[in-house]
Structure 1
Amino acid sequence: MRRILLLGGTGNFGTHIARRLAGDPNIQLLIAGRSRAKAESAAARLKAVNPAEGHEMDMAGDLAAAFAAARPDLVIHTVGPFQGQPYRVAEAAIAAGAHYLDLADARAFVTGIDALDERARAAGVAVISGASSVPCLSAAIIDAFRPRFGALSSVDYGISTAAQGISGLATATAILSYVGRPIRQWRAGAWRVTHGWQGLHGETYPELGRRLFGDCDIPDLDLFPARYEGLQTVRFGAGHELALIHLGTWALSWPVRAHLFPGLDRIARFLLAAARLLDPIGTGRSGLHMILGGTDEAGAPKTIRFYLIARQGHGPYIPCVPAILLASRFAAGRAFTPGARPCLDLITLDEYLAALADLDVSTFVLENEDRRH
């Protein structure tokens, strides 16, 4: 039986991961949070096959000692925002001889994780960062459709959140941290500077209609130009179901860009509360799209559009899938390869979508349709 520690196990992502793993007879869950009472209460509510434990753990405290006492085989780190966060959790996991996964989508955090590679290999453990929608799912989509191209030259994609499934404070803070700030992106075969939540553009989804997007900073922007030979453009955008919220954030990006305001992450709690007042007019439907462009084997232009639509507020569960799948595999006896790396080449698109089968999620694929966006 594997002891799996969920750091942030009482939060949105941690709670969902715990529910999905609670029925696995090969897993004993350790629910960790800042409050022992809340952690123990969350552990008791799980009614897990193997009774879960509640642990009090402070991110600013002595994590090495806490991990040594808890004796985890695997640590799953869900406590964001990861922007600007050091590698204290991963380092403590290595010291405890435990494998490590995180749900980070912070560019520098995920792309810099190989700094721990030598230490992880020496300890015989895996340190995997970005076990989330990006770069795990985004890379899986490209890998699934790339064989249909003779040459792949561009990927243009985005995630649009639902009003009723709006993210928690940590996720909102992470997004707001780069609104109005410079972002280095690979465009037309060269590095160019854009700004967070600017580059306003839209995409029309099946079922959802038109959603707005703005440029955002994610690990893929560094990882994909190096990973996919011949790729000339990588653009990622984030957006909100309600145009009012999206355009309001876009308007607020300009004072940040002009250095008139230090950053929207400083008022994330207020902005999140304001956005939640509009929940009643939302639909609870979120979406992900990816437009892959290039040529076929004969050199003719080719475009594939992939859409994923989540209903009933199920969108926030999608980033949890990699951690759930990898933890389940580990508990079933599938070994991790030691070393530190981003979460790439570990989960296929088919495996990812199969894990969403019990959610209200659909996918659509359109090939060579000329659509304005």
Structure 2
Amino acid sequence: MSQNVLVIGGTGNIGQCIAKDIVQCTDAKVTVTGRNSSYKGNFPFLPLNLTQKETITDLIADYDLVVHSAGPFHDRDGRVLKSCIEAGVNYVDVSDHRSFHFQVTPYHEQAQASGITAILHTGVFPGISNLMAKQGVESLDRAQSLFLYYLVGGSGGAGLTVMRTTFLGLKSPFSAWIDGKWQQVSPYSDRETVTFPNYGKGGVYWFDVAETYTLADTFPVETVVTKFGSIPDFYNHLTWLTAHQFPKSMLENPISLEFLSKVSFAMARLTDTWSGVGIAVCVEVKGEKDGKAENLSLQLYHDHTAIAAGRGAGSIAQLLLNQEIDQPGVWSVEQAVPISLFQKTMEQRGITINLQQRG
């Protein structure tokens, strides 16, 4: 019998990409949910409001796997995961912020007791990026530092939610693991110029994503740097102004934040025609191999950010549906997925990770 997958938030751009990947790579049947009952897509649809916990619990019980893609995750709690644990249903999400990580990881022991596997922070960044970092760490005898750099063209082919997520990430300083201790850094600060595949040189800035915390928690490294930037570059300067010059009250006010998100999304859609919507990821791993200093560079380029995110999450869904991963508990993606399986699923999807040794 074919398995049934529920993609919560599946009417959004990234949710649709996840649903398509699961259908293309497995025999599962996919149903999507959303708040907008006017959905006219290619998948069976069920209306769902995440504020109605009883509805969530009743709905989830009919499925073999739930994929949670209804962001922004800054404002989400663990009710979907809790319902999955109660129903004995495996869980995947594309959460991208440490606040959500702290909301759901306390369910670890309950998930273990229920025998369900919950894998957090899948997608492209976090997600594929975390596993690129893991591949680098496992290629060395000892890893000391991780540097993750992301560059996205225009809107990334995603929807308004991604813009909301960006502005929510500018609201306050955050802790980063630097030189063996947690240090406060300002969002969208300390610009670096990095050479990316396909794009060439691009500017990136400190940005608080889930892997800023989880990679430092997973691996015995001394430093984890996560920086993000956009193409065209003038978006970076506008985002920097928003983070450092605009009144903080604007980012705290939901109305003004929504206005900024909608204006930015409209601008990005206009420039998508010439900037493209791709993503480039560079992961630099510094450490030791055979008693000598070794630097590794892992690079990825995909011409559509939302599709790459869908393939990242879809690959984890595939591994759970095929029972290639059965690890009860609540895990960050790099804690649950072996590199051999990561490489296999990326190859199936035509995604190439280039690894270079730099001595």
TM range (shorter): 0.7 to 0.9
Q: Is the 8 A contact 1:164 1:282 kept in 2?
A: no
Mapping of 1:140-151 within 5 angstroms?
Answer: 140-151=131-142
User: What's the offset of the Cα at 1:98?
Assistant: 1.8
Q: Which has the larger radius of gyration?
A: 1
Q: What residue in structure 2 maps to residue 303 of structure 1?
A: 295
Q: TM-score, normalised to structure 2's length?
A: 0.88
Provide the rounded CA distance (Å) in 1 between the counterparts of 2:249 and 2:55: 41
8 Å Cα contact 1:144-1:348 kept in structure 2: no
| Aligned-partner Cα distance in 2 for 1:142–1:187 | 16
Which of 121, 124, 132 is the matching residue for 2:115? 124
8 Å Cα contact 1:64/1:93 also seen in 2: no
Name the residue aligned to 1:179: 170
Q: Does the C-alpha gap of structure 1 residues 327 and 147 become closer, same or farther in structure 2, counting only changes over 3 Å?
A: closer
Unpaired segments ≥5 residues, structure 2: none
Q: 2:15 is matched with which residue?
A: 14
1:23 Cα shift?
A: 4.8
| Matching residue within 83, 87, 99 for 1:108 | 99
Structure 2: how far apart are the matches of 1:80 and 1:16? 15
* 1:102 to partner: Cα distance: 0.8
Q: 1:77-96 alignment to 2 at 5 Å?
A: 77-96=68-87
- Contiguous gaps of at least 5 residues in structure 1: 47-52
- Partner SS, residue 67 of structure 2: strand
Equivalent residue runs for 1:1-373 within 5 Å: 1-23=2-24, 26-38=27-39, 41-42=40-41, 45-46=42-43, 53-64=44-55, 67-68=58-59, 71-163=62-154, 165-179=156-170, 181-229=172-220, 231-256=221-246, 259=248, 261-263=250-252, 265-266=257-258, 267-299=260-292, 301-311=293-303, 314-334=304-324, 336-349=326-339, 351-352=341-342, 354-357=344-347, 361-368=351-358
Q: TM-score, normalised by structure 1?
A: 0.85
| Residue 354 of structure 1: how far off its partner (Å) | 4.6
How many angstroms apart in 2 are the aligned matches of 1:122 and 1:296? 39
- Provide, for residues 73-109 of structure 1, a one-character-per-residue CA deviation record: whole Å limited to 9, x for no partner: 2111100000131112112222333222111011121
Out of 135-144 and 165-174, give the one that drifted further.
135-144
CA contact (8 A) 1:162 1:283 kept: yes
Letter in 2 for 1:271: S
**Matched residue SS, 1:90:** helix
Residue 357 and residue 64 in structure 1: after superposition, are their counterparts in 2 closer, same or farther (change >3 A)?
same
Secondary structure at the counterpart of residue 163 of structure 2? helix
Which deviates the most, 55-64 or 178-187? 55-64
Query: Which amino acid letter does the alignment assign opposite residue 326 of structure 2?
Result: F
**3-state SS, counterpart of residue 72 of structure 1:** coil
> Letter of the aligned partner of 1:292 in structure 2?
V
Residues 226 and 118 of structure 1: CA distance in aligned 2, closer, same or farther (over 3 Å): closer
Cα pair 2:85 2:116 within 8 Å, conserved:
yes
CA distance in 1: counterparts of 2:296 and 2:130, whole angstroms: 15
- Deviation, 1:144, is 1.8
Distance 1:188 1:31, change over 3 A: same
**Which residue identity lines up with residue 227 of structure 1 in the other structure?**
T
Distance change (3 Å), C-alpha of 1:119 and 1:19: same
Percent sequence identity is 18
Greater shift, 267-276 or 193-202, is seen at 267-276
Kindly provide the CA deviation profile for residues 274-295 of structure 1, in whole angstroms up to 9, marking residues without a partner as x. 2322223314442000111123
Q: Check whether the contact 1:64–1:92 (CA below 8 A) recurs between aligned residues.
A: no
Pair 99,366 (structure 1): closer, same or farther in 2 beyond 3 Å: closer
Report SS of the residue matched to 1:262: helix
Change (3 A) 1:365 1:112: same
Report the number of matched residues.
354
| Alpha-carbon distance in 2 for matches of 1:199, 1:69 | 44
Distance 1:360 1:212 in 2: 27
Q: 3-state SS of the aligned residue for 2:11?
A: coil
Following the alignment from structure 2 to structure 1, what is the Cα–Cα distance between the partners of residues 237 and 11? 32
Shift of 1:245: 0.8
Write the letter of the residue equivalent to 2:226. F
